[in-house]
Structure 1
């Protein structure tokens, strides 16, 4: 065998290097969504801000979700590589600012900036995969990123606890710097040269409306229970968000380069896939966030051991992500994979709906494995389906739509499940005495109850957790129904359809934009 046959081609070596840098970047951005959760009590103590400590997590989620569509569109217009390097630089600079923060407002402000960078890193990474690999191979590579994302959701809180207990909570942020610099350097060399899309004015009105919609949705889901679902603040946010959503489509139709192209949003593949991603992520984060809580409270294990107990779920997630990517690449049966994944995820939720205070570790491991298999088969297949249905010029915007839907789904799932859990637990323990400070509205006070009463409360918390998963099951059932009617198209045919629709949109805008084009302008100003 010749040397040329033995060694990988320069292209293959470049893909490996680029993928390694992108995977590391996604790992860092995903970790920062969850790594601070176990560090929050110590942060509140050090920075004297218990009342506003929830904003440390909400600020990152809010910023990363709000900027996702804008990063995707700017990448389409000005080249994804340069935007990716810029977002990574912002993320690293903000990580240093978080680690050096002296007050809670400083930390919250730095977390906003970190979310701006992290949101760009994630959506541009998914779009860059579309640039680097062929459509038939995207599922396999996207599966790697999905595995990293899922693992980060579980490992994040564990790392946050280790840093807080052994070093300092500041290392939860500072650790990003050495790894991020390496990822940045490799990406600068290995990513394909940036290419610009059609020159046009940035759709500032559309981006502003989307940011407002994202802000409203995240605030409602993050603080609905804390402020009261029927409070004037939450109702006002819901109404304002709905009003902004009604304004979005007319604004985007008039934009020369819309952040969310109306033709793309008219694609059943894009819309159905995004909704499936929303429902799947809602269920996924309800599992990833609250199962460790169940293990720690009901089974009395430490945060570290709760993570070890979740390893069957991680194993199922990683294995199914890899297999789903390979099946999608070789068989092209995207809808079948989605249906299988959603069905396994639904089965996992129904099984988790049977857990109690005495459920054995072995039984829990089986349930976790089945749930992990279901979780792993869905997210990246959804993204691949959408990317294969749009032209290359819209890869960033299409990736942003799916990422946006998944982010809102995650926030929605955590908020709804948290409400179901707390309400269910409070209802089941109202008759228990307030022994030693026990509060039926706070599961963390169970330990203050004496023996027999404590066992009753633990059983109530277990059953409230199980009931919450049963209530989440209809979300996955809705995803299955959407997947049944999903018709993934080849990239060429779907791309041509979207391109044809765009031509029609351009014709509609001809009258209003002709004068500007005659004077050398690139199109009407988005308004």
Structure 2
């Protein structure tokens, strides 16, 4: 089992000090492969859950009804996951990773079983929220455990293995979801989680042994509640803005006014709490500040390919769903490879410079898409996505490992979860910004349509359906394909600015942070 040098609570205003972890005993080292397998299975639950559900939406709606609410199947999951990540990270520091991960996985599986038994769209949305609450624990603790079990030299390779799960899920998820929906029932989309999750829990229970410091803790319940309320209101406002209501409408302004009040209240509470959920040093230490802000920037950029590339591949390139999914999966291939190789680089040139190279590759990938010719070849798009994925892997891995390396065990959960939370916050912002850019650009394209197509073109939210139906004739189809192409390029242009900003944010990280780092 693990023994730890310190269990003292860090002063809220202090920066983390260099405190190496105690040696891992030989028995635990011998079981690391089993534990890594369990972590990969656990990540698979969260990684596949969005993609596997997306392909079964038509069957779900056909069975349960509630088409006007189906988008909340994804929104409620993202919201619940994002707002709970920092809370689970703090609990993992207080009570150990094992109980938090097991409890969160059990909650995820309970939500999955309830989703499979749902009798209507509203109950299904509620149960998806329960799944999201469990997924927050998975995202907060899996990467923290990887930091506990492996040395700084090994963590890049392990992050590559964990990242590979996302690439596999990008291919396997839609395939399984479509197969279940077509040949069995959509309820298996959720039931498939049970054997995977139970296997992961069994491995964790059997092979993961840790000894968290035994001391009395004061859980900051008011801070946790305020943080969840602020996060929920913020993500809700971003998801609804530009969709359910306009950005400058009364509901939007009221929502973000409430967010501002809750954020201020949360900051005030966290500054005075004995054991804050998100202590001040997470944002005051230069390594963490730069890393967390850069993760927000990366999350912003990730939404362009994640949300629009598969539809672009089908609507503009004329690919089928499977081929379009493979285009997106090619990004994961670049991510995994770069994440695995980043360890060789950050041991030579440091975390900051390696991440800077990743940010530059990310920028090059975004700009590369903008510069693609009209009707580009399939393989040219794939090559660009591999480059973009390499940027993501080379950027995220050294920043995460760097953050984990400057804190002791009893602060690694907070440090890791804040880094992950920053990325998901960026994705939420990116979804809102990309949606606003795309809808605005597409609306402008439709308004400038030739007079010969007047009255025949659909509204913005019906463009994809019109292209898939082929009911517009050759002229209308070509115009919509051109409009969709232009709108997608506008989204990538916006993401290029976010990528450039991310490069500047990485520069906040000290060039030689290893001088201030302990760790393995």
Q: Fold conserved (TM > 0.5)?
A: yes
Answer yes or no: is the 8 Å Cα contact 2:233–2:255 preserved in 1.
yes
Question: What is the CA deviation profile of residues 91-141 of structure 1, one whole-angstrom value per residue up to 9, with x for unaligned ones?
Answer: 111111111111112111111111111110111111111221223432332
Report deviation, 1:345: 0.8
- In the alignment, what sits opposite 1:193? 210
Q: Is the alpha carbon distance of 1:326 and 1:428 closer, same or farther for their aligned partners in structure 2, counting shifts above 3 Å?
A: same
Deviation at 1:173, TM superposition (A): 1.1
Conserved? CA contact 2:105–2:201, under 8 Å: yes
Contact map agreement 1:95 1:174 (CA 8 A) in 2: yes
Cα root mean square deviation, aligned: 2.2
TM-score computed with the length of structure 2 as normaliser:
0.88
Of 420, 438, 441 in structure 1, the residue corresponding to residue 458 of structure 2 is 438
Structure 1 residue 215 displacement after superposition: 0.7
Mark the runs of 5 or more structure 1 residues left unpaired by the alignment.
1-8, 497-527
Aligned in 2, Cα 1:354/1:464: closer, same or farther, shift over 3 Å? farther
Among 22, 26, 44, the residue aligned to 1:27: 44
Give me the whole-angstrom Cα distance separating, in 2, the residues matched to 1:318 and 1:115. Answer: 25
CA–CA distance in 2 between the matches of 1:194 and 1:109? 35
CA drift at 1:289:
2.4
- State the shift of 1:176 in Å: 0.6
**CA–CA distance in structure 2, aligned partners of residues 311 and 111 of structure 1:** 25
Give runs of aligned pairs for residues 378-457 of structure 1, distance below 5 A. 378-432=395-449, 433=453, 438-444=458-464, 445-446=466-467, 447-457=470-480
Partners of 1:491 and 1:205 in 2: how far apart?
Answer: 36
The farther-off stretch of 274-283 and 214-223 is 214-223
Alpha-carbon distance in structure 2 between the residues aligned to 1:327 and 1:477:
22
Residue 60 of structure 2 aligns with which residue? 43
1:301-316 maps to which residues of 2 (within 5 A)? 301-316=319-334
Q: Does 1:464 align with 2:477?
A: no
Residues 37 and 160, structure 1, Cα contact 8 Å, conserved in 2: yes
Q: How does 1:119-158 map to 2 (within 5 A)?
A: 119-153=136-170, 155-158=172-175
The answer to whether the 8 A contact 2:112-2:131 is kept is yes
CA shift, 1:196, in A, is 3.6
Instruction: Provide the secondary structure at the position in 1 that maps to 2:31.
Output: helix
Render the CA deviation track for 1:376-427: whole Å, top value 9, x for unaligned: 2122322112111222211111111111111111122122212212221121
CA offsets, 1:154-173, max 9 Å, x none? 65344333332332222221
Give the CA deviation at 1:436.
Answer: 5.6
- 2:131 matched residue in structure 1: 114
Q: Which residue in the other structure is 2:253 paired with? A: 235
Runs of 4+ deviating beyond 4 Å: 434-437, 488-492
Q: How does 1:175-254 map to 2 (within 5 A)?
A: 175-196=192-213, 198-227=215-244, 228-254=246-272
1:501 aligns with: none
Shift of 1:261: 1.2
Count of matched residue pairs: 487
Which segment is superposed worse, 213-222 or 55-64? 213-222
Residues of 1 paired with 2:171 and 2:302: CA distance? 11
Identify the range of structure 1 (195-204 vs 483-492) with the bigger mean alpha-carbon deviation: 483-492
Question: Aligned residue for 2:21?
Answer: none
Shift of 1:142: 2.3
- Partners in 2 of 1:282 and 1:271 — Cα distance? 17
Instruction: Select between 444-453 and 406-415 the one with higher mean Cα deviation.
Output: 444-453
Counterpart Cα distance in 2 of 1:452 and 1:357: 17
Larger displacement relative to structure 2 (407-416 or 339-348):
407-416
Match of 1:366 in 2: 383
Stretch deviating more after TM superposition (295-304 or 58-67): 295-304
Match of 2:18 in 1: none
Work out whether 1:289 is the aligned partner of 2:307. yes
Tell me, in whole angstroms, the C-alpha distance in 2 between the residues paired with 1:135 and 1:192: 21
Q: CA deviation at 1:465?
A: 0.6
Aligned mates of 1:325, 1:66 — CA distance in 2 = 30
Q: Secondary structure at the match of 2:432?
A: helix
Relative distance call for 1:206 and 1:377 in structure 2 (3 A) is: same
TM superposition shift of 1:216? 1.8
Render the CA deviation track for 1:263-297: whole Å, top value 9, x for unaligned. Answer: 33321211211111111122123212211110011
CA distance in 2, matches of 1:448, 1:440: 16
Q: CA deviation at 1:259?
A: 0.3
Aligned to 2:276: 258
Unpaired runs of at least 5, structure 2: 1-25
User: Contact between 1:92 and 1:176, CA under 8 Å: does it hold in 2?
Assistant: yes
Secondary structure of the corresponding residue to residue 274 of structure 2: coil
Partner of 2:516 in structure 1? 493
| Superposition TM-score, scaled by structure 1 size | 0.87
Q: Are residues 310 and 407 of structure 1, via their aligned partners in 2, closer, same or farther at CA, if it must alter by over 3 Å? A: closer
